[in-house]
Amino acid sequence: MDLAERYEYLRDGDDENIEIVEAFVRAYTRGVGFDKHTGLPIPALAGVILAAAKRLEVSPIIGQATEGGEVRYDVFKGFNLAELSVLNDYRRRSA
């Protein structure tokens, strides 16, 4: 199973992490890198989505912070440097 097949399989399943991270990636790249007809990402972006979704699945509560005695749990702190390196290739930076 190649990356595109794996991505489509997971996307069509019950994995809501894929949907969440795909929305983040689509917003970050402003839709660049996604097929206009199928809505699927190109393989590089699919890899980023799968990696970030797996990280979110393994550790849904990534960290905790305390403010004035109040405990707050963070769910997703963003993309790591390797993922950002790929995402920045597809991000449109000027209007």
End-to-end alpha-carbon separation of the chain, Å?
Answer: 38
pLDDT at 93 over 80: no
Mean pLDDT of 3-14: 70
What is the percent of the chain with per-residue pLDDT over 70, rounded to a whole number?
A: 69
**Per-residue confidence band for 15, with pLDDT thresholds at 50, 70 and 90:** confident
User: Closest Cα to residue 11, out of 46, 56, 55, 52?
Assistant: 46
* Among the ranges given (27-31, 68-72, 91-95), the one the predictor scored with the smallest mean pLDDT: 68-72
Q: How many residues does the chain have?
A: 95
